[in-house]
Amino acid sequence: MNSPEHKKYLKKLKKEKIIVVILQLLIIISFLVIWEILSSKSIINSFLFSSPSKVIKTISSLISRKELFSHIGITVLEVLISFTITSVLSFLIAILMWSNKRFSKVIEPYLTILNALPKVALGPLIIIWIGAGCGSIIFMALMISLFVSIINIYNGFNSTNKDYITLLKSLKANKKTIFLKVVLPSNKNNLISALKVNVSMTLIGVIMGELLVSKKGLGYLIMYGSQVFNINLVITSIFILGIIAFIMYEIIVKIEKKEFTR
């Protein structure tokens, strides 16, 4: 049974969580209310900055025209594909770099260079190489997210407590055993953090790709809205992107909590 002190501690954690959620809601509600008031009182130009009420009207219009969910679906699918490829590839390449020091020394400078390249400037080349389609969008997302993910995961593997590794080596453990028994368990937090970063980076990459080539998706709506100077459509798309990013982030947080409460 839980002791009174433990129950008190759990109650305190629950109370703190409720307070944090309330404060988060207050911030977003206050922002939306102030934004609406400033717009309605013409303190800010609603044509240039839109307003929450106009965002709601734009969402209703997109739903009535049966366009909203198709655009959201395309973007979410592209993000999920890019996120999965990035997470799997970065994990496997980081393992290879950790297990083969020569390989890591050879490839690490190239990862840094590739990560520093201006990805938007490569957009026209990507379109020429791959074509103006979904492949270009996913490739752009990979260019933005993959290299930084590899570097983060590999650095985490390298920062594993050396004493534990030395102990297993003294017991004649091979690299596979050391990785599974020490490196991987020690990097749970690092891997979860990498997933959180991958969510935002792949979402940015997909939107950048859609801005260049897409005929569907939220990135396309942003580009189209800016071309016809429909600021309501642009801000509505950005607002929906924020919701998608929040949902994906929360899914990873739930996985993290489930993993660490085992």
Q: State yes or no: pLDDT of 262 exceeds 60.
A: no
234 and 117 belong to one structural domain: yes
pTM recorded for the entire structure: 0.84
pLDDT tens readout for residues 187-214: 888 899 899 889 989 999 999 888 888 7
67 and 32 belong to one structural domain: no
Q: How far is CA 242 from CA 42, 199, 211, in A?
A: 26, 12, 17
Token reading at 229: 């100077």
**CATH at 142:** 1.10.3720.10
34 and 132 belong to one structural domain: no
pLDDT score for 165: 82
pLDDT score for 259: 60
Residue 90, domain member (yes or no):
yes
CA distance 215 to 209: 11
The set of residues, in sequence order, having a beta carbon less than 8 Å from that of 249 and lying 6+ positions away, is 196, 199, 200
Q: State yes or no: pLDDT of 250 exceeds 90.
A: no
pLDDT tens readout for residues 22-35: 998 999 999 999 99
66 and 177 belong to one structural domain: yes
219 and 106 belong to one structural domain: yes
pLDDT tens readout for residues 147-170: 999 999 999 998 888 888 888 888
94, containing H or E segment: helix 68-99
Token reading at 153: 């995961």
20 and 123 belong to one structural domain: no
How many distinct structural domains can be found in the chain? 2
pLDDT score for 117: 81
What average pLDDT does the chain have? Answer: 87
pLDDT tens readout for residues 94-146: 999 998 989 999 998 999 888 888 877 777 888 888 877 888 899 999 999 99
131 and 170 belong to one structural domain: yes
Quickly list DSSP for 26-70: HHHHHHHHHHHHHHHTTSS-HHHH--HHHHHHHHHHHHHTT-HHH
Q: Which domain holds residue 218?
A: 55-260
Token reading at 247: 């949902």
168 and 242 belong to one structural domain: yes
pLDDT score for 160: 84
